[in-house]
Structure 1
Amino acid sequence: MRSCWFITSICISIFVTSISGLPHFFPNVSAIPPSLIPNAIEGAWTSFQNFTGCHPGQKVDGLAKLKRYFQYFGYINNNASTNCTDDFDDALEEAIKTYQLNFNLNVTGELDAPTMEHIVRPRCGVADVINGTSSMNSGKRPESHIHAVAHYSFFPNMPRWPPSRTDLTYAFLPANQIEDSVKVVFARAFVRWSDVIPMTFTETASFSTADIRIGFFSGDHGDGEPFDGVLGTLAHAFSPPSGLLHLDGDENWVVNGSPSTAYAAVDLESVAVHEIGHLLGLGHSSVEEAIMYPTISTGSRRVELASDDIQGIQYLYGSNPNYNGSTAATTQEGDTSGSGSHLAGRHWSQSVLLAVGLGLLMM
């Protein structure tokens, strides 16, 4: 998100007046109305598939919209308004090459099928490139693609919560009327991080005084980063210590179990764990198995921290003394009970710097 590293607070009235209806939560895939099935092929960026095969030198109707996509995520200078034409110019070619490097694709500078498949995926609204500096693979040396090398990143100047703030509170926007089943999902998402760092997260009823404020919004909600309806950008969060986490209220959020690719539905916990990583100071990672990877496909569930996530967050905060050093071999899960029973006794709880700390030491 372009503004997330310099906005530190937003007036509470903006939250309240920006609500357009209530969020769409479904306990499981079978609870989603059949009328929503067609939406699976009607995401915010589905029309970009029409540009598959385009290459430098062409002029294609609507290509300016794709340029604005690359502007939004930092790949094209946000002030370069003159570049937003339908011409496949040098700026677009360079943006595509950087994108392909970031997502470990063949660097062709063309809109080939694998590149387009990544572009249209639902994703986090936080930018991959900030002030011309990428938080992902494009800024790393070729040998850094070795699996053992970290690809985590931080926000500019490496903001983090002060060492004295080890017990953070969080609250939900009252107007969203969040049910207990949804709160359990967020509690579980916070635990994913507090399991590995010496920090706890406790829900509070006071939205105005909470360290972390969570809200679901539709469209333009006052922070300069409007949501775009079903799929597209799913959520965004601000760097420490702002504590702001915004999710798109128009998404079809699945609370328990894996969503289905037949629906335009998104796993809530997967997105919550990712955005909490931003709240704690992590940028995006090029490791596709990592929680901090920017995209997630419909029908996917990714909730377990990967080694890359753990290395990054422990560089900022150190290790939870109870952490045993184990990590999941994969971050994909097929299902979940949604019971939150494993929370008992465990309420432990982007210019972006590249491969800092342990990652640099291992290069």
Structure 2
Amino acid sequence: MAPKPDLSLFTVTLLLLFLTLFSFLSNATAKEVHSSNNSSPFDFLDHLKCCHKGDKVKGIHDLKKYLHKFGCLDYMNHIHSNDDHFDQFLEEAVRTYQLNFNLNPTGTLDEKTISMMMKPHCGVPDIINGTTSMRSAKIKHQHRAIHTTVHYTLPDGDYKWPPSKYQLTFGFLPGTPSAATGSIVQAFAIWQKSTHFKFSQSNNPQNADLKISFHKRDHGDGDPFDGPGGQLAHAAYPTGGTLHYDAEETWSAGAKPGAMDYGSVGLHEIGHLLGLGHSSVEGAVMFPTVTEGVAYKGLHQDDIQGIKALYKV
């Protein structure tokens, strides 16, 4: 008579195989989720390295939208505005971007240019209405200081608060993380130390001069956010008074690896609320990009010169 199979051993072996397979699938899923959470809307730029005029590569159309968003490209009705052709208009836009960020203005998407483009960016354009840019500011404002070259910008349109509004109130609208408020209050205090403005927190946020809030994607102002790793925040020039953070970013109060500091981004956006444009000085608060894990301790001299030039104080 043949021996009976050991069913208990068979059952245990089958169970172990099932648990191993389940663990493998769970880990694979977790990796996929982690990878998805770490993706950025600017990741498409990575495979455009070394592209130049004459190329036709998938993703160039997205590059055109990127440069249009930040003010470097404005030919949306041109024959190649909606395709993946790298034409002379795009080459000039890339060259403009490179000049703004102190890069070699080749018009080619070299590694340094792509690396800069992929950094998280303020949502306020670097060039407004095609007339004001970080590049032109170097020429426009050099005469203001004999021994110092300044690189701040003052957007066309005379965006500034009238003398009757040098005492401004700010408020946090519903949905603002409690962890954010202290850092942003400190950012206002830093600007107050170096300007003629006085800031105070309002008991009624809806009636404050400056309203801070957090939003996701399309939030009704015509300038939707794009998810983690892209546009961090944007603010209205005077006398708009709105500062919007992207709620989908990874935020922290202070410097923390892999996170954006509430206060540092707030310090930058408050500069826009007061009327400053972007600076081409990489160490300045008004430089358009912010690095993860970094917290600003104060204003750069370029920021201070910019606000004094704007208000002639």
- Does 1:68 pair with 2:62? no
Structure 1: 5+ residue runs without aligned partners?
A: 1-33, 320-363
In the alignment, the residues of structure 1 paired with residue 187 and residue 46 of structure 2 have an alpha-carbon distance, to the nearest angstrom, of 33
Deviation digits for residues 189-247 of structure 1 (CA, Å, limit 9, x no counterpart): 00111101121111113122110011100000111100011011000000101101111
In the alignment, the residues of structure 2 paired with residue 126 and residue 234 of structure 1 have an alpha-carbon distance, to the nearest angstrom, of 10
Structure 1's 314 and 78: CA in aligned 2 closer, same or farther, altered over 3 A?
same
- Structure 1 SS opposite 2:95: helix
Q: Is the 8 A contact 1:169 1:201 kept in 2?
A: yes
2:295 is matched with 301
Structure 1 residues 222-233: aligned runs within 5 Å: 222-233=220-231
Comparing 297-306 with 200-209, greater Cα deviation is found at 297-306
In the alignment, the residues of structure 1 paired with residue 142 and residue 37 of structure 2 have an alpha-carbon distance, to the nearest angstrom, of 36
In the alignment, the residues of structure 2 paired with residue 114 and residue 292 of structure 1 have an alpha-carbon distance, to the nearest angstrom, of 20
1:302 counterpart letter in structure 2: Y
In the alignment, the residues of structure 1 paired with residue 196 and residue 102 of structure 2 have an alpha-carbon distance, to the nearest angstrom, of 33
Q: Using the aligned pairs only, state the percent identity.
A: 43
Q: Is the 8 A contact 1:133 1:139 kept in 2?
A: no
Q: Is the 8 A contact 1:101 1:138 kept in 2?
A: no
- Structure 2 SS opposite 1:233: coil
1:47 counterpart letter in structure 2: F
1:96 counterpart letter in structure 2: V
| Per-residue deviation, 1:141 | 4.2
2:154 is matched with 154
| Per-residue deviation, 1:56 | 0.7
2:250 is matched with 252
Structure 1's 222 and 105: CA in aligned 2 closer, same or farther, altered over 3 A?
same
Q: Is the 8 A contact 1:167 1:201 kept in 2?
A: yes
Q: Structure 2 length normalisation: TM-score?
A: 0.83
In the alignment, the residues of structure 1 paired with residue 297 and residue 224 of structure 2 have an alpha-carbon distance, to the nearest angstrom, of 25
- Does 1:50 pair with 2:47? yes
Q: Structure 1 length normalisation: TM-score?
A: 0.72
Structure 1's 296 and 178: CA in aligned 2 closer, same or farther, altered over 3 A?
closer
| Per-residue deviation, 1:318 | 5.3
In the alignment, the residues of structure 2 paired with residue 132 and residue 318 of structure 1 have an alpha-carbon distance, to the nearest angstrom, of 25
1:299 counterpart letter in structure 2: G
Structure ranking higher on relative contact order (CA contacts 8 Å, 6+ apart): 1
2:265 is matched with 271
Structure 2: 5+ residue runs without aligned partners?
A: 1-30
**Higher helix fraction: Structure 1 or Structure 2?**
2
Q: Is the 8 A contact 2:176 2:213 kept in 1?
A: no
In the alignment, the residues of structure 1 paired with residue 152 and residue 96 of structure 2 have an alpha-carbon distance, to the nearest angstrom, of 17
Structure 1 residues 119-268: aligned runs within 5 Å: 119-138=117-136, 140-141=138-139, 148-174=148-174, 176-179=175-178, 181-256=179-254, 258-260=255-257, 263=258, 265-268=259-262
| Per-residue deviation, 1:81 | 5.9
Show structure 1 runs of 4+ deviating over 3 A: 34-41, 78-82, 138-147
Compare CA radii of gyration and give the structure with the larger one.
Answer: 2
1:335 is matched with none
Q: Is the 8 A contact 2:173 2:206 kept in 1?
A: no
Structure 1's 155 and 216: CA in aligned 2 closer, same or farther, altered over 3 A?
same
Decide which of 263, 268, 276 is 1:282's aligned counterpart. 276
In the alignment, the residues of structure 2 paired with residue 243 and residue 116 of structure 1 have an alpha-carbon distance, to the nearest angstrom, of 33
Structure 1's 166 and 301: CA in aligned 2 closer, same or farther, altered over 3 A?
same
Structure 1's 304 and 177: CA in aligned 2 closer, same or farther, altered over 3 A?
closer
Structure 1's 44 and 94: CA in aligned 2 closer, same or farther, altered over 3 A?
same
1:49 counterpart letter in structure 2: D
